[in-house]
């Protein structure tokens, strides 16, 4: 309570128990639509699968009500008990009717890599619903969480996003499911060139997937970028059309971009058109909005 109270945003806005306050905060920084992801559920919460599923249903229901109260300005990444693919499909269908704009996964699905083909039926349903899979920073692999000191996000929360990227881009998922889109969120974009090289090496042996750049350039893969990164050098590799921006509101960690819209529109190292792509066009294509 004390830490939450110290933030600039009201408690009701942070919790979305006061939608009006939340929307006023968005208006202040010229955000029309937010796609919302969790805080507590950035980690695995319960080993008991049915309890986890119940918690996630409660989350999705709450976010669905918030989305309706905001008249669609607030959308959300649906949470699913991914260890049970059939239950995840059922919950994603329910969440889609309530305003979900994506399905959120961590970089690993508990003990499975995201490219594990047992997850493909879930991805197929997401594609059928026109929802992307958003791989978000988080502690999705309990074994990794146990190994590393989680006082730093890097080892057990950020690195798994890159593991997820490698696993997906070396799998045959994009060839198997034509309309599927993936995004990799809150891990920056500076790692993309390194991972593209790694993926190319592995794909040369496995031959399950096309060159990763093709998936960026055809609107299948997106990545968030942050203000202190060399975004232009990454754009030289993947093009300008795959970047999206996230404010991380109302978190107070280093990923937070307080006045993201104004900051990027004032930048002189990007063309105005590229900035509008990052703020408007690319997230609209990612989320199908």
CA distance 174 to 180: 6
Burial of 1 from C-beta contacts in 10 A (0-12 / 13-18 / 19+):
exposed
Nearer to another protein, 16 or 235 (CB): 16
DSSP 119: G
- Interaction of residue 2 with another protein, rule CB under 8 A: yes
- Interaction of residue 236 with another protein, rule CB under 8 A: no
Tokens of 241: 């059309």
Nearer to another protein, 113 or 225 (CB): 225
Nearer to another protein, 109 or 209 (CB): 109
- Interaction of residue 270 with another protein, rule CB under 8 A: no
- Interaction of residue 166 with another protein, rule CB under 8 A: no
Residues 170-229 interacting with another protein (rule: CB under 8 A): 183, 185-186, 224
Residue 216 Cβ, how far from another protein at the closest point, in Å? 16
Residue 209 Cβ, how far from another protein at the closest point, in Å? 24
Q: How many residues bind another protein (CB under 8 A)?
A: 72
223: closest CA among 176, 276, 177, 165?
165
Nearer to another protein, 102 or 113 (CB): 102
Residue 135 Cβ, how far from another protein at the closest point, in Å? 11
Is 137 within 8 Å of 153 (Cβ atoms)?
A: yes
DSSP 116: -
Question: Cα 38–284–274 angle (5° rounding)?
Answer: 110
Query: What does the per-residue mask of binding to another protein show for 30-59, with x meaning CB under 8 A?
Result: xxxxxxxxxxxxxxxxxxx-xx--xx-xxx
Residues 240-269 interacting with another protein (rule: CB under 8 A): 244-251, 253, 260-261
Q: Calculate the alpha carbon distances from 202 to 3, 29, 113, 212 in Å.
A: 45, 43, 15, 11
Residues 100-129 interacting with another protein (rule: CB under 8 A): none
60: closest CA among 29, 90, 34?
90
- Interaction of residue 149 with another protein, rule CB under 8 A: yes
Residue 169 Cβ, how far from another protein at the closest point, in Å? 20
CA distance 197 to 212: 9
Residue 289 Cβ, how far from another protein at the closest point, in Å? 7
Q: The dihedral of CA 79, 60, 23, 281: what is its sign?
A: positive
């Amino acid at each position: 309570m004390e830490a939450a109270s110290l933030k600039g945003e009201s408690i009701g806005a942070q919790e979305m128990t006061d939608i009006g306050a939340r929307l006023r905060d968005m208006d202040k920084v010229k955000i029309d639509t937010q796609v919302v992801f969790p805080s507590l559920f950035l980690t695995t919460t319960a080993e008991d699968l049915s309890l986890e599923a119940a918690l996630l249903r409660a989350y999705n229901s709450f976010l669905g009500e918030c989305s309706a109260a905001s008249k669609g300005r607030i959308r959300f990444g649906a949470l699913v008990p991914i260890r049970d693919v059939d239950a995840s499909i059922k919950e994603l269908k329910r969440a889609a009717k309530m305003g979900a704009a994506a399905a959120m996964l961590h970089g690993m699905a508990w003990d499975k890599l995201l490219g594990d083909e047992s997850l493909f039926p879930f991805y197929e349903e997401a594609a059928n619903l026109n929802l992307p899979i958003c791989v978000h920073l988080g502690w999705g692999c309990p074994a990794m969480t146990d190994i590393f000191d989680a006082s730093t996000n890097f080892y057990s929360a950020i690195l798994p996003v890159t593991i997820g990227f490698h696993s997906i881009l070396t799998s045959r998922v994009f060839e198997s499911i034509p309309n599927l889109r993936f995004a990799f969120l809150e891990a920056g974009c500076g790692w993309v060139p390194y991972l593209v090289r790694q993926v190319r090496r592995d794909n040369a042996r496995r031959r399950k997937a096309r060159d990763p750049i093709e998936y960026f350039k055809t609107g299948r893969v997106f990545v968030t970028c942050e203000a202190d990164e060399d975004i232009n050098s990454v754009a030289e590799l993947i093009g300008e059309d795959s970047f999206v921006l996230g404010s991380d509101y109302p978190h107070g960690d280093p990923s937070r971009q307080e006045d993201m819209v104004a900051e990027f529109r004032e930048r002189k190292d990007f063309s105005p058109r590229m900035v509008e792509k990052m703020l408007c066009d690319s997230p609209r294509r990612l989320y199908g909005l």
